[in-house]
Structure 1
Amino acid sequence: MTANPRRQLRPTDVKRLNRTWRRNTQGRLALIVESVTGPFNIGSIFRTAAAFGVEHVWLAGNATPPTNPKAQKTALGTDRLVTWEEPVPAPEAVRAAKADGFRVVAVELTGDAVPLHEADLSGDVCLVVGSEDHGCSPALLEAADAVCYIPQVGRVGSFNVGVATAIAVAEARRQEWAALEPSHSFGAQ
């Protein structure tokens, strides 16, 4: 008798599956989080960063650190899995990311932004997200190498910054994984 392929994976199977994906993920991914002050957004961003293998987060402007007790409720301790820096001015965070070998791509609605799925997110990329109310600052946008936006077809003009970060980080990994040979299904067995 064959086991039901639709059963939920046991914790050991989940670890094995995640390890397989990790071995087949080479691109370095980082974030600059500018002036995101909502602690639950920060916690969500750090949890997403840990799940997708983001190696570093630069906080910029007046961003709330993940050590905030409310941020901890959402992050569930994942901030210890991602290195991060205390907030600095946005251009300084961009310089640090570039000095570490990252191409900096802001996620923002600008006249020259390309749709997220058309943006080149290959190689070592540092994605930038901005504050809940005003997005990325002009200084940060000027310092970024490129800008992309998340296409939306509904009647709402923007995403929550934690959700937008998750979409952008997932797309960066999706682009990398899509470039693998089709036989890499990595399915749980």
Structure 2
Amino acid sequence: MTARRQMRPTDVKRLNRSWRRSTEQRLALIVESVTGPFNIGSIFRTAAALGVEHVWLAGNATPPTNPKAQKTALGTDRYVPWSEPVPASEAVRTAKEAGFSVVAVELTGDAVPLHESPLGGDVCLAVGGEDHGCSPALLEAADAVSYIPQIGRVGSFNVAVAAAIALADARRQGWSAS
């Protein structure tokens, strides 16, 4: 039996290139009023890892150029095109004009569990600020709302973790559909 070993950087690049070639789905993100620079950096690092095409900042979101955001982004923000903050409804409109359906990740009465949401096509996920979540304007403009099922005693995830879970599930659904 051969001992398991971690892949070398060249092998990782080859593996990632293979996944990129087999990925047809377009993925984008709206980040509304996330002000914590470490959250922004983490979101951009995840977006770069999962091939997010564009990040629209909305509300009073901190840009990835913030020095503290750079500490967690580790330079990966250069791989993800992004737009300066605009009102949430404008970000949603721009994403829809670019051909994305917009799915907000939020706890609302009509939200469906993330794993049951139709995330297999060209989708733009939207996450909201650390304290208040997605604004009423964003929720109204979105095509759908999904939530991340949780069974523990804590009622919510950190926004960067929620974005990572939602983006990864969208990619999973996209790969399953193709």
Question: How many Å apart are 1:122 and its aligned residue?
Answer: 1.5
Q: Which structure: larger Rg?
A: 1
Report the equivalent of 2:34.
36
Query: What SS does the aligned partner of 2:78 have?
Result: helix
Letter in 1 for 2:87: P
**2:97 is the counterpart of 1:114:** no
Match of 1:169 among 167, 170, 174: 167
Shift of 1:12: 0.4
The structural deviation recorded for 1:178 is 2.1
Name 1:84's counterpart in structure 2. Answer: 82
> Using the alignment, how far apart are the partners of 1:77 and 1:41 within structure 2?
14
Over the aligned positions, Cα root-mean-square deviation in angstroms equals 0.9
Q: Please point out which of 103, 110, 113 is paired with 1:105.
A: 103
Whichever residue aligns with residue 134 of structure 2, its letter is C
SS where residue 134 of structure 2 aligns? coil
Q: Which amino acid aligns with 1:90?
A: A
| Partner of residue 22, structure 1 | 20
What is the TM-score normalised by the length of structure 2?
Answer: 0.98
Mapped partners of 1:176, 1:61: distance in 2: 29
What is the aligned counterpart of 1:45 among 23, 27, 43?
43
Matches of 2:85 and 2:131, distance apart in 1: 18
Structure 1 segment 131-146 matched on structure 2, within 5 A: 131-146=129-144
1:58 alignment partner, SS class: strand
Return 5+ residue gaps in structure 1 as ranges: 181-189
- The equivalent residue for 2:7 is 9
Give me the whole-angstrom Cα distance separating, in 2, the residues matched to 1:58 and 1:102: 12
- For these two proteins, the number of residue pairs brought into alignment is 178
Query: Tell me, which stretches of 5 or more residues in structure 2 are unaligned?
Result: none
Deviation, 1:179, is 2.9
Read off the aligned partner of 1:82 and give its amino acid letter: V
The aligned counterpart of 1:186 is: none
Q: How does 1:61-72 map to 2 (within 5 A)?
A: 61-72=59-70
C-alpha separation between the residues in 1 aligned to 2:128 and 2:104? 8
C-alpha distance in structure 2 between counterparts of 1:78 and 1:10, whole Å:
20
TM-score of the aligned structures, taking structure 1 as reference length: 0.92
- Residue 172 of structure 1 aligns to which amino acid in structure 2? A
Indicate conservation of the 8 Å contact 2:120/2:177, yes or no: no
Whether 1:153 and 2:156 are equivalent positions in the alignment is no
SS at match of 1:72: helix
Q: How much has 1:176 moved relative to structure 2?
A: 1.5
* Residue 3 (structure 1) shift: 4.8
| 8 Å Cα contact 2:89/2:141 also seen in 1 | yes
